[in-house]
Structure 1
């Protein structure tokens, strides 16, 4: 039984990690997301200008400095025409629902969304399995306008709220 589970986990990880990274001009894939509960999904509907943020793990040290700046600057993003900000973490819905803010916190519990963007990496040694690279995508509807990805997951430079506000 253990070898069957390990094999299945390896297959899922390999499929999550195999996609080419999304580029400007690309389209955010149609996805079912978990925002409110672990057993309830809804379609990701992007209208207007959006910010999609990927984080390796909720409440890790870098995330604790990365995401609060987006919450603190939410009004500044709105002034730049941003309709919504989404934070995707390869975590369960209970962890992602912990924060109450005007930002949408989305549980990508299996890493399928970030995998479909080509923005997953193997974090097995530290975080137990595939995780999201630290990234920010700006969209107009589902069309990708820009993609910023940190060279190393602990970094918060090109994906900082300050950098993205300057980009807009």
Structure 2
């Protein structure tokens, strides 16, 4: 599992916007930035849609005042992440689509949900400074506490 002091693994993400598709790698996305990457098991799933992402949407201005960019990671494709972003009014949050789960696996934070959904991200949040992890907040199975927007805001 990724640890404090580790650099984020290299990965290229695909983004879908009103202008079309684009790509960016982790170096480009996180160079010179303080950020929170929060991961959810799946877009449009209950806790993710009712609490996790909405918490960051509600507190986005406070993170911005502290100079912290927000990124939401899920093992979903870029089209699903864009649709979820629009449905949740989360335009200020960068959605990281990890379609094959390779980035999540490189972090050591993947889980296998079997027939329910296959490979998914554990629920977690990372504090990142210039591409280096400064805090790892991984949830215990079935929990939603340490990776919430409120918990992460206390750490930045």
Could you tell me the TM-score, scaled by structure 1's length? 0.81
8 Å contact kept, 2:37–2:73:
yes
**Structure-1 residue corresponding to 2:43:** 58
8 Å contact kept, 1:58–1:89:
yes
Which sections of structure 1, spanning at least 5 residues, go unmatched?
A: 1-20
- Superposition misfits of 4+ residues, deviation over 2 angstroms: 37-42
CA RMSD of the aligned region, Å?
Answer: 1.6
User: Which one of 3, 6, 9 corresponds to residue 29 of structure 1?
Assistant: 9
Q: Separation in 2 of the partners of 1:162 and 1:56?
A: 19
Bigger Rg, which one? 1
Q: Deviations over 1:96-118 (max 9, x none)?
A: 00113100112100001111100
Report the CA distance between 1:40 and its aligned residue: 4.4
Q: Separation in 2 of the partners of 1:70 and 1:78?
A: 11
8 Å contact kept, 1:92–1:108:
yes
Q: What is the number of equivalent residue pairs in this alignment?
A: 145
Q: Separation in 1 of the partners of 2:148 and 2:100?
A: 25
**Structure-2 residue corresponding to 1:160:** 148
SS in 2 for 1:94: helix
Shift of the 73–24 alpha-carbon distance from structure 1 to 2, 3 Å rule, reads same
Report the CA distance between 1:39 and its aligned residue: 6.5
